């Protein structure tokens, strides 16, 4: 049996924070605002995984009102999400994701992001697709106010 989930996340860009995407620190003058490390890509993937089994969303499992998750690495949130998926007798088959941002250019970091994700989820790196695009200067991503990530995940029953 297969299950498909779709995830979406958005975070505001601000000065004074590190930019972490896919568990990779990317040099940039701004970072993402959030309770955790605000890794918009990993949050979208977690939401897709949870949604595929109708388990709610990342906010239900890791609420921003809980100080245990303050500044936590989203790689740990991804690991905990995967443990929940495994406990339900499923495993991730593949992930397709898109990050929408105007700056910085992240192409040089995509392979490292895929390696981080595949390692945490214990899947082949080739099963992790990460694409990046701009919004052609339109909307809040185009003006550099924030970053959006979309993810689709396919799970298979063990």
Q: Where are the domains of the chain?
A: 2-157
- Report the chain's C-alpha Rg in angstroms: 15
> How far is 15 from 101, CA to CA, in rounded Å?
16
> How far is 60 from 43, CA to CA, in rounded Å?
12
Q: Cα 46–18–123 angle (5° rounding)?
A: 35
Asked if 64 and 38 count as a contact pair (C-beta separation under 8 A), the reply is no
Structure confidence at residue 3 (pLDDT): 98
> How far is 42 from 38, CA to CA, in rounded Å?
9
Structure confidence at residue 66 (pLDDT): 82
Over the stretch 43-89, which tens digit does the pLDDT of each residue have?
Answer: 999 999 999 999 999 999 998 888 888 889 999 999 999 999 999 99
Is the pTM here over 0.95, yes or no? Answer: yes
The set of long-range contacts for 25-31, using a CB threshold of 8 Å and a minimum separation of 24, is 26/104, 26/106, 26/109, 27/104, 28/103, 28/104, 30/144
What is the third-level CATH fold of 2-157?
60s Ribosomal Protein L30; Chain: A; (3.30.1330)
Structure confidence at residue 71 (pLDDT): 83
Structure confidence at residue 63 (pLDDT): 85
Structure confidence at residue 145 (pLDDT): 95
Which parts of the chain sit beneath pLDDT 70?
A: none
């Amino acid at each position: 049996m297969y299950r498909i989930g779709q995830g979406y996340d958005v975070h505001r860009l601000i000065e004074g924070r590190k930019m972490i995407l896919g568990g990779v620190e990317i040099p940039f003058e701004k970072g993402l605002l959030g309770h955790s490390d605000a890794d918009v890509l990993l949050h979208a993937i977690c939401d897709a995984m949870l949604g595929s089994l109708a388990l709610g969303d990342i906010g239900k499992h890791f609420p921003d009102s809980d100080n245990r998750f303050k500044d936590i690495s989203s790689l740990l949130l991804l690991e905990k999400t995967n443990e929940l998926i495994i406990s339900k007798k499923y495993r991730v088959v593949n992930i397709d994701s898109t990050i929408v941002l105007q700056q910085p250019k992240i192409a040089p970091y995509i392979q490292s992001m895929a390696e981080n994700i595949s390692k945490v989820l214990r899947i082949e790196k080739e099963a992790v697709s990460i694409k990046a695009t701009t919004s052609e200067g339109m909307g809040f991503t185009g003006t550099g106010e924030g970053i959006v990530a979309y993810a689709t995940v396919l799970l298979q029953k063990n």
